[in-house]
């Protein structure tokens, strides 16, 4: 199984273009050095054995029939071992490194333009908001894709706990910052912590989802435990992992990738096969575990649910 997955990565890795290539030469070299170091790590058992999982009895939750797929799910083994999580290194092989992250307890802050700023433990959140399961597509800007059963709840249900003020226009998300556990965060030339943002209208759309689990279990660390965003109509980098802080604000957040490469990555990042990345086409994608290539769809197949969010915004760069 593992051998097979690794072989698939080898193939994929030689074909995909990488977000990290946007970086300047110094950063790029640092990234390659790190990748080589990671590849040299001994292959340990990858299962994250018990112990730190948060409330496994709550998963998968009831399947929401409004969110199904017309193509097969990605094999769990692949979706949980081919990852982008730059806090733990620039390669796809960060499973071992990510196990250093302490996820229990996990304080989540919701603050800014809200009636009730709060710091709440993620375990309290998953016990308070009913967990459901949804099947979503995921399209990485690097042109690979996956099809995943997420468990969690609508982002809106989480934000409602803090009662956002009418004056809030954006939601800013921030990942943990802890170089002791995530060594790549000691590289000061990257703009840590990882930040992402949505408009309040996007955040209130039913598709915007907070995942605390996948494949019927609590999230594994490599996939962004204990709590991450999932916005399936946008490129995967918007789906920020291991969130510590959510801030309602009237200022548009500048995201991690936008800060690193503003000519290549922007605020909106909606999937559109007709708008190429400056360095590669976005017309097709390679489903993980599948050697073929399939056409990418506008808003990653979710135009019916989200296209209305962008009417009258023609002046904005909506698709990168
Ligand atoms: N904090 C953080 N969140 C992140 C990333 C990251 O490097 N750090 N990578 C993003 C990218 S580019 C993608 S494609 C998805 C990958 O999620 P997965 O590893 O669960 O497939 O996570 C996104 N969220
Ligand atoms: Mo991505």
What tens digit of pLDDT does each residue of 112-137 get? Answer: 999 999 999 999 999 999 999 999 99
To the nearest whole percent, how much of the chain has pLDDT over 70?
84
- The model carries a pTM of 0.88
95 by DSSP, 3-state: which?
helix
Residue with tokens 């193939």: 11
Decide: 205 and 270 in contact? Cβ < 8 Å. Answer: no
pLDDT mean over 89-106: 97
Range in 38-52, 95-109, 219-233, 293-307 the model is least confident about:
38-52
Which comes out higher in pLDDT, residue 252 or 49?
Answer: 252
Report how far ligand 1's centroid is from the alpha carbon of 239 (Å): 6
> How many CB atoms sit inside 10 A of residue 104's CB?
14
Is the beta carbon of 74 within 6 A of some atom in ligand 1? no
Burial of 190 (0-12, 13-18, 19+ CB in 10 A): buried
- pLDDT grade for 183, boundaries at 50, 70 and 90: very high
Strand 118-121: give its sheet, edge to edge: 118-121, 107-112, 243-249, 170-175, 195-199
Write the CATH number of the domain with boundaries 10-310: 3.90.420.10
State how far the Cα of 249 lies from the Cα of 263, in Å rounded to an integer. 24
**Residue ranges per structural domain of the chain:** 10-310
Decide: 47 and 151 in contact? Cβ < 8 Å. Answer: no
**Closest ligand 1 atom, residue 229 Cα:** 24
Residues around the ion ligand 2 (C-beta < 5 A): 84, 140, 236-237
pLDDT mean over 147-162: 98
Q: pLDDT tens digit string along 4-52?
A: 344 444 434 333 445 544 333 334 334 444 344 334 333 343 444 446 8
Identify the residue whose C-alpha is closest to ligand 1 atom 19: 83
Cβ within 8 Å of residue 242, ≥6 positions away: 87, 101, 103, 175, 176, 221, 224, 225, 226, 227, 228
Is the beta carbon of 240 within 6 A of some atom in ligand 1? yes
pLDDT mean over 46-69: 85
- In the DSSP assignment, the letter for residue 262 is T
Report how far ligand 1's centroid is from the alpha carbon of 238 (Å): 8
Is the beta carbon of 175 within 6 A of some atom in ligand 1? yes
pLDDT mean over 268-294: 97
Q: pLDDT tens digit string along 264-273?
A: 999 999 999 9
Given a cut of 90, is residue 245 above it in pLDDT?
Answer: yes
Across the chain, mean pLDDT equals: 89
Q: In this predicted structure, what is the pLDDT of residue 16? A: 43
Which comes out higher in pLDDT, residue 194 or 37?
Answer: 194
Cβ within 8 Å of residue 168, ≥6 positions away: 112, 113, 114, 200, 248, 249, 250
Report how far ligand 1's centroid is from the alpha carbon of 195 (Å): 11
């Amino acid at each position: 199984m593992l051998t097979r997955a690794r072989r698939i990565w080898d193939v994929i890795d030689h074909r995909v273009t990488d977000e990290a290539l946007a970086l300047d030469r110094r950063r790029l070299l640092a990234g390659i050095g790190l990748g080589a170091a990671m590849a040299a790590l001994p292959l340990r058992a990858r299962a994250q054995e018990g112990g730190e999982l948060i409330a496994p009895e709550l998963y998968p939750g009831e399947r929401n029939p409004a969110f199904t797929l017309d193509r097969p799910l990605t094999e769990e083994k692949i979706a949980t071992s081919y990852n982008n999580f730059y806090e733990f290194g620039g390669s796809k092989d960060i499973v071992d490194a990510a196990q250093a992250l302490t996820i229990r307890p996990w304080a989540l802050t919701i603050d800014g333009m809200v009636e009730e700023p709060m710091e709440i433990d993620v375990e309290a959140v998953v016990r308070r908001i009913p967990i459901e399961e949804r099947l979503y597509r995921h399209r990485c800007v690097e042109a690979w894709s996956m099809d995943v059963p997420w468990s969690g709840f609508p982002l809106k249900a989480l934000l409602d706990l803090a009662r956002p003020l009418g004056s809030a226009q954006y939601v800013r998300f921030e990942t943990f910052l802890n170089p002791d556990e995530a060594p790549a965060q000691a590289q000061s030339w990257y703009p840590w912590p990882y930040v992402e943002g949505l408009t309040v209208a996007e955040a209130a759309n039913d598709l915007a989802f907070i995942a605390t689990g996948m494949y019927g279990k609590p999230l594994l660390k490599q996939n962004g435990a204990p709590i991450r965003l999932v916005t399936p109509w946008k490129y995967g980098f918007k789906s920020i992992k291991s969130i510590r802080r959510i801030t309602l604000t009237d200022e548009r957040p500048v995201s991690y990738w936008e800060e690193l490469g503003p000519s290549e990555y922007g605020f909106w990042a909606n999937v559109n096969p007709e708008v190429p990345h400056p360095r590669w086409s976005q017309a097709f994608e390679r489903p993980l575990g599948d050697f073929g290539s399939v056409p990418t769809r506008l808003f990653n197949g979710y135009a019916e649910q989200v296209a209305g969010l962008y009417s009258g915004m023609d002046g904005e760069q909506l698709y990168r």
